[in-house]
Structure 1
Amino acid sequence: MSEKNGNPVERLNLEEFIPAKKVTPPKSLDELSPEEIERLREVGIDIKAEDKLGLFVQADCGVVSCSCVPKGIELLPITEALKKYDWLRENYFWKAVPPDKDEFTKITAEDLDNGYFIRVMPGEKVIYPLQTCLYIRTDKVAQRVHNIVIVEEGAELHIITGCTTNPHVTSGLHIGVSEFYVKKNARFSYTMIHEWGENVHVRPRTGIWVEEGGVMISNYISLDKVGSVQSYPTCRLKGKGAVGQFTSIIAAPEGAHLDLGSRVVLEAPETRAEIISRTVCYGGEVIARGHLIGKAQEIKAHLECQGLMLTDKGYILAIPELEAHVANVDMSHEAAVGKIAREEIEYLMARGLDEEEATSLVVRGFLNVRIEGLPEELQAKIDKTIEEARKGM
């Protein structure tokens, strides 16, 4: 996918994939097999849970579930929301992400399959996470979605989104355009867990606007083999005191090609940003990017990229960037790539573990990142995902 200088070299032939609208999607969740339901559960989507507050599931091009319990929040397929609200298209649709950004946004703008629209009304606090799932059910399908989330002034929202494929699907293309708008003094945490097929190519395109006093927490987790992922969300901290926090937890087995990162533009005074990346490589190829741009005074921003090489195959390339345009800023970064220290393994083996168990425990500790401000239920899902991946390693 990428050369070691960080420049992507492989272009996808979009004609190799079948437009999602050319296949027949299921009409409801009842058509999913027990094997498929278990696959969704592995990425944090429990469709049988009785206490879930909201659920959106799209299989190929079809929305098979769209329901929301709490008052003060609206959940709709994006195609229905665009018909219902003229202001959505005028003020939000393709505003944080330009439709001509690249070939993937262009084809999504030309022929959208679907996606979700979520709006939390002013002052509403949705503490427990809503569940959203973008699911490729048919081999070689190209799925094109556009999501919009609006967290109104003083509101709070948590989403866990699981993106995956049918267990028997090995190839496909997922294009996910997402636009997030966090209004004044609002708070939004968004956790994405990916578990794709080994020849699936994933192209998220995300833009985020955060107003005064708003908080955006974004978590990205990919712990299994995937054909390629190319993701570089851009967050603009547009109001005084806005906060952006981005965490990625990545495991790259042989055959995985991952070009990942985050960019935060600190446009207003007293804004704060943090980008944290943890990568374990055991044969795959990973580019870990981070870009902090300071455009206002009295900002504080930090970038941390750490990688762990478990084999002599594959590579990790860390590309941290700091960019300051004014005086009186506090910006820093640190990057490190290394191996498991032998003394750590020996220490654990001396206490009764064999070498494989000791190595596994060290990897788990490296990947376990406590994310400030998440509900315990959501943190527990992240911990469980990491634990299952650790067993697979």
Structure 2
Amino acid sequence: MKKVDLNDFKFEGLEHAPVEDLSTLNDEDKEQLLMAGVDVDSEDVSGTFMQVDHSNVHCGSTDKDVEVMDIKKALEKYDGLPDYYFNLIDKDKDEFTKSAADNLHGGYFIRTKKGAKIERPVQSCLFLKAEQSGQNVHNIVVVEEDSELHIITGCAAAHDEFTGAHFGISEFYVKKGAKLTFTMVHNWGENVTVRPRTVGVVEEDGVLLNNYVLMKRVKDLQSYPTIYLNGANAVARFNSVLVAPEGSYLDTGTRIIQNAPNTKAETISRTITTGGTIISRGHIQGNAVPARGHIECKGLLLGGGRIHAIPELEATVEGVELSHEAAVGKIAQEEIEYLMARGMDEDEATSTIVRGFLNVDIMGLPAKLQKEIDKQIEELDASDAM
């Protein structure tokens, strides 16, 4: 892991005034947010949250069955949220959790009502705007029994050359029979350091579907969420699409712990480097039977870079069924020739293969977000794929 000097960033004095109407943001900020999957002009949401540097500037819900609050206000309203706040993550885990605990800037608290099926997604954005901003946030999501929720979180910086740091703590609670779909899209800058720390618990018959998309350059990202399947029939499925341009260093992965019978765990990652470094981790631990788990990690090298796939399977009881599939390489010449024989030129053939490899259809994303991601895939420079 690369060393991060907290003294390089500003953790005080970067407050902003509230924004009553997000559609009044300037065009440049809107574009950066859209590339992170956040459409501030959309009304097809059940709630919205926006954090800019050290301030929550916009927060609210349009659905009576889902609560969307600034975390600091939630801590005040609910006497410190004793059942949820720092229950899954140790404040002293590392310097980043300590920074967030000692100097909390914001984050969201999102909770559904029991039995509620929230049809429209909650949209949230964590935005770095002031140069050298250091942002400490803590997010808590509680999906109550038999309820369903989709959260789309976009993380972005003001421009591609931006310098800053984001330290984000997230705790997910998926209660009995509940379902959470959590989609995160990152659009950081070439000098941004990112250290998320995420832990979640899924109870009996609960489902957690996690989608993660990173298509743009980021200086240094380390992310390794851990999910505990603590109830019978609990399910966790992680899908990720990662692209590392030159100058990017990505150390990412997922850890799923199966602590109850009849649980299912799956992680599927698609990674491409066009010059950057990707360390793709996956760890599934089976502690109860029956239990099934699978890790799939596939990577493409386009024009240099490095991909290091590290799948890890761990069974502690007899009868656990775990498997993995990992492959890293380049586009096969015969695949390109096959498409060229059917009328495509070399660039078109290469682009078609890349689009198919980075297929995000399985994520079940809203059409507008799917379209934006497809557009970014189209813009990938695959000219060095040979």
What is the TM-score normalised by the length of structure 2?
0.95
Bigger mean CA offset, 74-83 vs 60-69:
60-69
Q: CA shift at 1:339, angstroms?
A: 1.0
Change (3 A) 1:119 1:163: same
Q: Could you tell me which residue of structure 2 aligns to residue 4 of structure 1? A: none
Give the conservation status (yes or no) of the 8 Å contact 2:300–2:331.
yes
Which residue type is aligned with residue 82 of structure 1? Answer: L
What are the superposed Cα offsets for residues 149-180 of structure 1, whole Å, 9 maximum, x if unpaired? 00000000001111001126511000110000
Change (3 A) 1:30 1:44: closer
| Structure 2 match to 1:227 | 219
Instruction: For residues 192-213 of structure 1, give each alpha carbon's deviation from its aligned partner in whole angstroms, at most 9, with x where no partner exists.
Output: 0001010101111000000000
Runs of 4 or more above 4 Å deviation: none
- The superposition leaves residues 4-41 of structure 1 with CA deviations (integer Å, 9 ceiling, x where unpaired) of xxxx2x2111101011x312324314663111112112
**CA distance in 2 between partners of 1:199 and 1:66 (Å):** 28
Secondary structure in 2 aligned to 1:127? coil
Q: Are the counterparts in 2 of residues 364 and 387 from structure 1 also a CA contact under 8 Å?
A: no
Aligned-partner Cα distance in 1 for 2:371–2:39: 16
SS in 2 for 1:328: coil
- 3-state SS of 1:174 partner: strand
Structure 1 Cα separation of the partners of residues 178 and 23 of structure 2: 36
In 2, are the aligned partners of 1:209 and 1:235 still within 8 Å (CA)?
Answer: yes
Q: Please say which of residues 263-272 and 28-37 is displaced more in the overlay.
A: 28-37
Alignment equivalent of 2:32, drawn from 30, 39, 47: 39
* Consecutive unaligned residues in structure 1, runs of 5 or more: 1-7
- Asked if structure 1 preserves the Cα contact closer than 8 Å seen for 2:214 and 2:241, the reply is yes
SS in 1 for 2:318: coil
Contact 1:139–1:169 at 8 Å: present in 2 too?
no
Q: Which residue of 2 aligns with 1:5?
A: none
Which residue in 2 is equivalent to 1:319?
A: 310
1:238 equivalenced with 2:226 (yes/no): no
Question: Cα distance, 1:387 vs. partner?
Answer: 3.1
The TM-score, its normalising length taken from structure 1, stands at 0.93
Q: 2:162 touches 2:189 (CA, 8 Å); kept in 1?
A: yes
- The residue number in structure 2 matching 1:345 is 336
Match for 1:377 among 343, 347, 366?
366
Matching residue within 237, 260, 265 for 1:268: 260
Q: Cα deviation per residue 1:54-93 (whole Å; 9 max; x = unaligned)?
A: 111111111111121111110000000000012x531110
Cα deviations across residues 286-308 of structure 1 (Å, max 9, x unaligned)? Answer: 00000001111100100011011
Report the AA paired with residue 172 of structure 1.
Answer: G
| CA–CA separation in structure 2 for the residues paired with 1:235 and 1:334 | 21
Corresponding letter in the other structure for 1:293:
Q
Letter aligned with residue 95 of structure 2: E
Equivalence for 2:358: 367
Which amino acid is the alignment partner of residue 249 of structure 2?
A: H
Query: Are 1:300 and 2:306 matched, yes or no?
Result: no
Deviation at 1:129, TM superposition (A): 1.3
Deviation at 1:371, TM superposition (A): 2.6
1:3 alignment partner in structure 2: none
Q: Which of 108, 114, 117 matches 1:116?
A: 108
Conservation of the 8 A alpha-carbon contact between 2:44 and 2:120: no
Q: Which residue of 2 aligns with 1:390?
A: 378
Provide the rounded CA distance (Å) in 2 between the counterparts of 1:316 and 1:233. Answer: 20
Q: Structure 2 matches for 1:6-21, cutoff 5 A?
A: 8=1, 10-19=2-11, 21=12
- 8 Å CA contact retained: 1:172, 1:201: yes
One-letter amino acid of the counterpart of residue 90, structure 1: P
The 10-residue stretch of structure 1 (48-57 or 330-339) with the greater mean CA deviation from structure 2: 48-57
Q: d(CA) in 2 for partners of 1:249 and 1:383? A: 15
| Partner Cα distance (1:289, 1:371) in 2 | 20
Query: Would the aligned equivalents of 2:35 and 2:372 in 1 still touch at CA under 8 Å?
Result: no
How big is the alpha-carbon RMSD for the aligned residues of Structure 1 and Structure 2? Answer: 1.5
Q: Which secondary structure does the structure 1 equivalent of 2:257 belong to?
A: strand
* Paired residue type of 2:340: M
Inter-partner Cα distance in structure 2 for 1:134 and 1:306: 29
CA distance in 2, matches of 1:49, 1:384: 14
Aligned-residue identity in percent: 48
Does the Cα contact within 8 Å between 1:223 and 1:386 map onto a contact in 2? no
- Listed as ranges, the matches of 1:1-393 within 5 Å are 8=1, 10-19=2-11, 21-28=12-19, 29=22, 32-86=25-79, 89-167=81-159, 170-311=162-303, 313-371=304-362, 374=364, 377=366, 381-382=369-370, 384-393=372-381
Q: Which amino acid in the other structure matches residue 330 of structure 1? A: E
Range with greater deviation from structure 2 (201-210 or 46-55): 46-55
Count of residues paired in the alignment = 379
Distance in 2 of aligned mates of 1:383 and 1:275: 23
